[in-house]
Chains A and B, each alone.
Chain A
Amino acid sequence: MAETGTLSRRQLVHEYEAVIVGAGGAGLWAALELARSGVKTAVLTKLYPTRSHTGAAQGGICAALGNHEEDHWEWHMFDTVKGGDYLVDQDAAEVLAKEAIETVIELEHMGLPFNRTPDGKIDQRRFGGHTRNYGEAAVRRACFAADRTGHMILQTLYQQCIKHGVRFFDEYHVVDLLIDGGQTRGVVAYRIADGEIHVFRSGAVLIATGGFGRMFKITSNALSLTGDGVALAYRRGVPLEDMEFYQIHPTGIVGIGILLSEAARGEGGYLRNDSGERFMERYAPKLMELAPRDMVSRAIYMEIREGRGINGGDYVYLDLTHLGREVIESKLPDITEFARVYQGIEPITQPVPITPTAHYAQGGIPTNVDARVVVDEVNTVLPGLYAAGECACVSVHGANRLGTNSLVDILVFGRRAGRSMAKDVAGQGLPDLDPDASEPVRAEIEALRGRESGESVNRIRTELAAVMWERCGVFREGAGLERLTGEVRDLRHRYANVKVEDKGLVFNTDLLEARELGYLLDCAEATVAAALARTESRGGHYREDFPERNDTDWLKHTLIYRTDGDPQLRYKPVTITRFQPKPRVY
């Protein structure tokens, strides 16, 4: 065994036609497409695939199957565009809504155990912002498997990957993305088990690393959601798109942020304030609790601010008590258990205290509808680089994602990513690779491991999460964001001197947490800069100093580029095809 504290100089090089980073829904479906096409593919994940956060998705996956009532993909597309406050690229939303249908059917064909209607079809329920006939009333569009739809999707896709012999590299932490001369050349990974550096040479790399909710103090996100792929792309010159739009979900467990699915409201649950009032009737009289998440989260904050939180405190109630034991236990079993385990509340008889929780990044690595990464205002493709899932920004969610559209997004565009990669690598050899390509990141890791004094990861991470939540959460304003810009800059400086206690090579999670904090800081920098610049309110980005949407100046996507100094901001137009922007009323 190598001496503690020094990395072996050995560089292990693997050669694959395609490399996928991340094994959630997007990565697994892409892998499946590549395997079916006979492309030699490696999937790298810092966890085991079944630990991916897709498995935590609860409520459902929308597709206009019309199993209960009339529905059309055009309605789904409209709801997606309106829900996203018209910042959605409509060509992408059209792909999303159309292909949602075949995607769900294919999942069923793969064996996914959907709940069933009495006549044996896939069961569907209501979900926030999903309506019939362009906004008339809520529609039953969300296909589901109890409240563990994501778990079933993750399991089903992993099962199919096993069936098709996909090659997994489990517990490999990707630490660098190799782009040189305008061409993607592979990735560098750190094998967690022994600290070895592995280079994966490949001309087609898919980033499917998920979100970065851990930059906020209260979040539904797994501890591992630290924006690794997003930050690596940003560091290698790829812009990030629409980072200011971060979704805060209305219903998280007070204090710890664990999600209680919107399906609870889709099944008929109410939100109540201290006087027992269903306060959403004052904010969204038509859709009530099923208004889009940004509106519901703001409404909850307004209630709390005005003293109508429960006992004047900083939470409200999610009330399921009128639904009855059978509905709760058969359709919402997991979240019922979460309330019992983490709050000591019995949802069948007691209202559940909830508060908004940081949930989903609408922004990320810009791509076109074929999951190819694009790097400027005119959508120039970066050869060999792909992104899909939460880390990507197609953009199908615009300024606010509708419930269930995350699962639709990761699967529709994960599938497209796999197909694009299979097409692009056909007949292509592997790119040349500098033999010292892994040296820069190897040096970074050795410096981190070797530093004998410095600040703890935890202190910087805790401070980051607190200030981001305070100043870049549901409500934002200019002065706070300016202050936050300085705070994040200071934290980045302090991070340059961060220390890890564990100096070993074997399963060094201390070192990995330090790397992850670096990624979070990059994501935070981009988020804050984009939020400060956008002087309007749209979807999940609410500026108290600019409370109105401003289409004249701001109906455009943010692109943010990393520089040695402050990040550089550029903008690109929104693609509008069928639906002209209108005020968003529910």
Chain B
Amino acid sequence: MQVDLRILRYDPERDKKPHWETYRVESAPMDRVLDVLNAVKWEKDGTLTYRRSCAHGVCGSDAMLINGRNRLACKIRVDQLGKKISVAPLPGFAVIKDLVVDMEDFFAKYRSVHPYQIDERPMPVTERLQSPEDRARYDDTTKCILCAACTSSCPSFWAKDTYVGPAAIVQAHRFIFDTRDEGSDERLEILADADGVWRCRTIFNCTEACPRGIDITRAILEVSSAIVERSV
């Protein structure tokens, strides 16, 4: 089948502003949008630029706006979208070229929530014990691949780009609810800031956008509740 792939293009070395270009590509129903992008790049226009690596939804490189929703290009099929597919860079981020956006601020916010285990107690010779129930408590948020689909879909982030954003809160949640971690206080303090969890308006865009199926809004609410509990 033939697919019309419409792409928002921008080359800072040639273009004053972004513009749409449409490519007609031969494609199969089970093809990923990434396959269609590759077909354009490899057979029609080598200047088309996007990030990609694993091509099966685990590395997080190819999040983009596809038919109006943030998704991974390698995890959405042509037959799920139809014959007209429109692709644009992730909203809310500065565009470097075509579908490539500047991720530096996103990763800086990720780092700002201390996304690493904090446990300075002496370690045992073997593993620390953790019950399957305690392990299950934070399972959902361990799945995050830092693709930025959530943060880029968040109207609160669009409105105020100093908001730390859903992805960073997800990463904080993963440690706050891990019984082995001792750093909850410092993380909750960071997230109690004006640009922390209180900017969330429970719009659920993040949860809908997450290609890993993480219940992000719920995670944010759990972190908010922990902040409230801590302060009383």
List chain A positions with a Cβ less than 8 A from chain B: 1, 4, 47-48, 50-53, 55-56, 65, 104-105, 108-111, 113-122, 145, 148, 151-152, 155-156, 159-160, 162-163, 170, 193, 222-224, 256, 258, 334, 337-338, 341-344, 456-458, 500-502, 504-510
Establish whether residues B116 and A223, one from each chain, have CB atoms under 8 Å apart when the complex forms.
no
Q: A51-B60, A256-B55, A456-B42 are in contact. List 13 more A-B contacts (CB 8 A).
A: A47-B59, A48-B146, A65-B126, A111-B180, A145-B142, A170-B107, A222-B53, A223-B54, A258-B55, A334-B58, A502-B47, A504-B97, A508-B49
Q: How far is the CA of A4 from the CA of B135 in the complex (A)?
A: 53
- Whether A108 and B127, one on each chain, are in contact in the complex, defined by CB atoms closer than 8 angstroms, is yes
Considering the chains assembled together, what is the distance between the CA atoms of A506 and B100 in angstroms?
11
In the complex, are the beta carbons of B59 and A53 less than 8 A apart? yes
Interfacial residues of chain B within 103-157, with CB under 8 A of chain A in the complex: 103, 107, 111, 114-117, 119, 123, 125-132, 135, 138-139, 142-143, 145-146
Q: Tell me, in angstroms, the Cα distance from A148 to B59 when the chains sit together.
A: 12
Is B181 interfacial (CB-CB < 8 Å)? Answer: yes
Contacts of B54 in A (CB 8 A): 51, 53, 55-56, 222-223
Taking a contact as CB atoms under 8 Å apart, the answer to whether B46 and A500 are in contact is yes
Q: Which of A53, A122, A256 lies in contact with B53, CB distance below 8 A?
A: A53
Chain B minimum-CB-distance residue to A117: B132
**With contacts A50-B145, A458-B42 known, is A56 near B58, CB below 8 A?**
yes
How far does the Cβ of A328 sit from chain B's closest Cβ, in whole Å?
16
**What chain B residues lie within 8 Å of A109 (beta carbons)?**
123, 127-128
Interface of B is mostly: loop
Pick the contact of A47 from B53, B107, B123, B138 — CB < 8 Å?
Answer: B53
The one of B13, B45, B96 that contacts A1, using a Cβ cutoff of 8 Å? B13
Pick from B13, B50, B139, B145: contact of A55, CB under 8 Å: B145
Least CB distance from A65 to B in Å reads: 8
Given A224-B53, A505-B13, residue A108 in contact with residue B128 (CB < 8 A):
yes
Q: Looking at the assembled complex, report how far the CB atom of A453 sits from the nearest CB atom of chain B, in whole angstroms.
A: 14
With A47-B61, A341-B77 as given contacts, are A458 and B43 in contact (CB-CB < 8 Å)?
A: yes
On chain A, the residues within 8 Å of B116 by CB distance are 111, 159-160, 162-163
Q: Which residues of B contact A114 (CB under 8 A)?
A: 127, 135
**Contact assessment for A342 and B56 in the assembled complex, using a CB-CB cutoff below 8 Å:** yes
Let me know if A159 and B115 touch, CB within 8 A: yes
Give the distance to chain B from A534, nearest Cβ to Cβ, in Å: 32
- Interface residues as binary, B173-211 with A (CB distance below 8 Å gives 1, 0 otherwise): 001001011000000000000000000000000000000
Q: Shortest Cβ distance from B154 into chain A, in angstroms? A: 20
Chain B residues whose CB sits within 8 angstroms of the CB of A162 once the complex forms: 111, 115-116
Q: Which of B8-38 contact A (CB under 8 A)?
A: 11-14, 30, 32
CA A413 – CA B47 in complex, angstroms? 39
Residue of A nearest to B45 (CB): A501
Q: Closest chain A residue to B141 by CB distance?
A: A113
The reply to whether A151 and B127 contact each other, CB–CB distance below 8 Å, is: no
Q: 10 closest pairs, A vs B, by CB?
A: A111-B117, A501-B46, A120-B129, A159-B116, A458-B42, A163-B116, A108-B127, A510-B46, A502-B47, A51-B59
Bound CA–CA A349/B67 (angstroms): 32
In the complex with contacts A109-B123, A110-B117, A502-B46, A151-B96 CB distance below 8 A? no
Q: Specify the chain B residue showing the minimal Cβ separation from A459.
A: B42
Nearest-Cβ distance from residue B112 to partner chain A, whole angstroms: 10
- Interface range on chain B (Cβ under 8 Å from partner): 35 or more
Q: B91 interface residue, CB < 8 Å from A?
A: no
CA distance A42 to B13 in the complex (A): 30
Could you tell me the distance in whole angstroms from the C-beta of B199 to the nearest C-beta in chain A?
Answer: 23
In the bound complex, residues from chain B placing their C-beta under 8 Å from that of A156 are 117
Is B83 interfacial (CB 8 A cutoff)?
no
Q: What is the CA–CA distance of A224 and B52 in the complex, to the nearest angstrom?
A: 8
Measured in the bound complex, the distance between the Cα atoms of B74 and A224 in whole Å is 14
The reply to whether B181 and A111 form a contact with Cβ atoms under 8 Å apart is: yes
Q: Name which residue of chain B comes closest to A504, CB basis.
A: B13
Residues of A within 8 A of B139 (CB): 113
What are 13 A-B residue pairs whose CB atoms fall within 8 Å in the complex?
Answer: A50-B60, A51-B59, A53-B53, A53-B59, A111-B119, A116-B129, A148-B143, A162-B116, A222-B53, A258-B55, A502-B46, A502-B49, A504-B47
Closest approach, in angstroms, between the C-beta of B21 and any C-beta of chain A?
14
Whether the Cβ atoms of A223 and B53 lie closer than 8 Å is: yes
Contact of B59 among A56, A65, A118, A160 (CB under 8 A): A56
How long is the Cα–Cα vector from A487 to B97 in the complex, in angstroms? 36
B127 near A105 with CB under 8 A, answer: yes
Minimum C-beta distance from B48 to chain A (A): 8
Q: B57 to A116, Cβ gap below 8 A?
A: no
Minimal Cβ-Cβ distance residue in B for A5: B13
- Beyond A47-B61, A50-B145, A50-B146, is A223–B126 a contact (Cβ under 8 Å)? no
Query: For residue A155, which residues in chain B have a CB less than 8 angstroms away from its CB?
Result: 142
Chain B neighbourhood of A151, CB < 8 A: 58, 143, 145
Q: Which residues of A contact B42 (CB under 8 A)?
A: 456-458
Residue B69 is within 8 A (CB to CB) of chain A in the complex: no
The answer to whether B11 and A113 have CB atoms under 8 Å apart is no
B75 within 8 A of A: yes
Within the complex, the shortest CB–CB distance from B98 to chain A, in Å, comes to: 8
CB of B58 within 8 A of CB of A55, answer: yes
Cβ contacts under 8 Å, A111 to chain B: 116-117, 119, 175, 178, 180-181
Q: Which residues does chain B contribute within 8 Å of A458, judged by CB atoms?
A: 42-43
- B residues near A145, Cβ cutoff 8 Å: 142
A48 close to B135 (CB less than 8 A): no
